[in-house]
A and B are shown apart, each in its own frame.
Chain A
Amino acid sequence: MLMYLRAVRGALRTQFLISKHPFDGMGVLLMGPLYAVVLFAILKNTGRIDLAGFALVAPFLISVLMQGIFQAGELFARDRDGQTLELAVATPAPYFIILAARVTVVMAISIPSLAVSWLIGWLFFGIDIALHHPVALVATLLATLFAASGTAVAATATFCYGRSSRTFQSTVAYWPMMLLAGVIVPVTLLPEWIQPLSRAVFLYWSADLLRDAVAAEPISNVLPRLGALTGLGIIGALLGAWLVNRMLDHHEREGTLGLS
């Protein structure tokens, strides 16, 4: 047990050192929130400041998705490309634990995007969005971090199959996912056949909860919705653990662990 904790601590520290890079790891803190400039401008220009909550939340969700797909999703493959996978697998600590800890650090970086997005609205557009349900907001942010990390572990194991066209595949996955999750507008505006699919995406629950948490109206069914968000995170993590172990088994058997 103590050994696992030590491995986790090492993984956290390693990932923090890697992610410290201002453009590569931390870049998401500007790349996502910059969409707030576009969205606040549209709302202000059309006189619909009452919808400001949408313009606040969407850039945050964009950050989470960006970081999940382009950073966390790359971890496994980068370990392989960088020839550090063999070494990590050779240690007594299970690789899945190390990967999960590192993914969590990467995803945690995207969480303050909400504050950056709020600041953009306040500084450049004079829009002061009141956060009406702070407890629900913080709880949703924590649950989002958990669900995003769980899902990203599964994603990083899947993306590893992609090889050279990985960036391309990620870009293709990225935009349809934003629609499916209702990042910019509630999925009720999408065709009806799409809506049940949305419920399987953790971002859908996060989007709905966050928009409710900043709105003045009383917020309902918080616990069941947080439960759905967390549940999808657990499913992602379990799937990720299975995929990672399966993949490692396969490569160890074939002797291709270090080949990329």
Chain B
Amino acid sequence: MMVYLRTLRFGFLVGLGDFGAVLDWRFWLVTWGARVGAEAVFFSLLGKLIDSPDVLRFLVIGSMIGVGSTSAFWASGFFTADRWDGTYPLLVAAPASIIPPIVGRTSVWMLNGVASSLLAFAILRYVFNIAFPLTEALIAVPIILLTVASAYSAALLLGGVMAPWPAAQNFIRTNVTTLLLAFSGVTVPISFWPGPLEAVAQLLPLTHGLRAIRALLDDGATTTVLNESGLQLLVGLGWLVVAMLLMDRIADVGRANGTIDLVEG
């Protein structure tokens, strides 16, 4: 257990290095803030065009989670960072599992996702002047964290799935994050979609957390908030477990057939 935590910590430090090579926190606030703000405002503006306060409010809350999820999905590209660095065989040879270094290194993008959502929350509230009750907004913070963390778990799984095709990573990640905006209740309620799609949407990493946040900020129905948060926790854990199983399998297969440090260009 201690070994697990220590490798997780070192992985996280490497991840911070990936991040810090690009920007420090002041630079983050200005540049990433501009990006997150613009992305969040982008879809909400459609509410202005449609000229409906309800649609605007729906899009504002959805976009807040949407930008955090999109940011957290950057983790999928860093799933294979150790492979590119050529340190994969060393990690596999070490007595600890390969999971903590990968989770540690990529988790910095989960934190970036949570921070992006919170920043978007503040920006959207200011730009569109939408009132959210303070207590409820504070209670929403842990649910935002849970929801973005679930998006991160799904991103890990995606990273593992697309590991064999590095050239397609950007293409797949972009399309997946766009589809998530449509199908997990970010921009339209999932009941908008035909039955089978709606059923699938129940398992997507943002759906239940978003419902909980909407219930909390709109009318504060406690049962809905608790139920949906619980479902979100289950769904998020589900994605995480599958992602971890996949990581183990990638390491096993790579070791068995000698392709652990080979990447197709």
- Contacts A30-B175, A42-B55 aside, 19 further interface pairs with beta carbons under 8 A come to A27-B171, A31-B171, A37-B182, A38-B182, A39-B46, A45-B188, A46-B52, A46-B55, A48-B50, A165-B21, A165-B22, A172-B31, A172-B32, A175-B35, A175-B42, A176-B34, A179-B42, A185-B45, A185-B46
Q: Number of B residues contacting the other chain (C-beta, 8 Å)?
A: 35
With an 8 A cutoff between CB atoms, is B179 at the interface? yes
Closest to B49 in A: A185
Chain A residue contacts of B182, Cβ below 8 A: 37-38, 41
Q: How far is the CA of A133 from the CA of B43 in the complex (A)?
A: 27
Bound CA–CA A45/B186 (angstroms):
13
Residues of A within 8 A of B174 (CB): 27, 31
Contact string, A42-60, partner B, CB cutoff 8 A, digits 1/0?
Answer: 1111101001001000000
The smallest C-beta distance from A32 to any residue of chain B, in angstroms, reads 9
Within 8 A of B (CB), among A1-60: 21, 23-24, 27, 30-31, 34-35, 37-39, 41-46, 48, 51, 54
Assign chain A's interface to a size class: 35 or more
Which of A35, A51, A165 touches B178 (beta carbons < 8 Å)?
A35
Interface residues of A in 165-213 (CB under 8 A from B): 165, 168-169, 171-172, 174-176, 178-179, 183-185, 189
Q: Which residues of A contact B45 (CB under 8 A)?
A: 179, 184-185, 189
Docked CA distance A44–B187 (Å): 11
Minimum CB–CB distance from B177 to chain A (whole Å) comes to 10
CB within 8 Å for A51 and B49 given contacts A42-B59, A178-B42? yes
Total contacts A to B, CB within 8 angstroms? 97
Q: How far is the CB of B62 from chain A (nearest CB, A)?
A: 10
Does B48 count as interface, using CB distance less than 8 angstroms?
yes
Contact string, B178-194, partner A, CB cutoff 8 A, digits 1/0?
Answer: 11011000011100100
- Nearest 6 interchain pairs by C-beta: A175-B38, A23-B171, A27-B171, A23-B168, A176-B38, A45-B188
- A169 to B23, alpha carbons, bound, how many Å? 10
Contact A41 B188 (CB under 8 A): yes
Per-residue A-contact encoding for B144-187, CB less than 8 Å = 1, 0 else: 00000000000000000000000110111011001101100001
Would A41 and B50 count as touching, CB distance under 8 A?
Answer: no
Residues of B within 8 A of A175 (CB): 34-35, 38-39, 42
A16 to B204, CA, bound (A): 38
User: Can you give 8 contacting A-B residue pairs, CB < 8 Å?
Assistant: A34-B175, A41-B188, A45-B192, A172-B32, A178-B42, A184-B42, A184-B45, A185-B49
- Known A51-B49, A176-B34, A178-B38: A38·B171 in contact at CB below 8 Å: no
Q: Is the CB of A54 within 8 A of B35?
A: no
CA distance A7 to B49 in the complex (A): 48
State whether A27 and B35 are in contact (beta carbons under 8 Å apart), knowing that A42-B188, A165-B22 are contacts in the complex.
no
Which A positions have Cβ atoms within 8 angstroms of B? 21, 23-24, 27, 30-31, 34-35, 37-39, 41-46, 48, 51, 54, 70, 164-165, 168-169, 171-172, 174-176, 178-179, 183-185, 189
Cα of A171 to Cα of B23 in the assembled complex, Å: 13
Q: Is B110 an interface residue (CB 8 A)?
A: no
- Contacting A41 at CB < 8 Å: which of B21, B42, B171, B192? B192
Measured between C-beta atoms, what is the minimum distance from B114 to chain A in Å? 18
8 A Cβ contacts from B18-68 to A: 21-23, 31-32, 34-35, 38-39, 41-43, 45-46, 48-50, 52, 55, 59
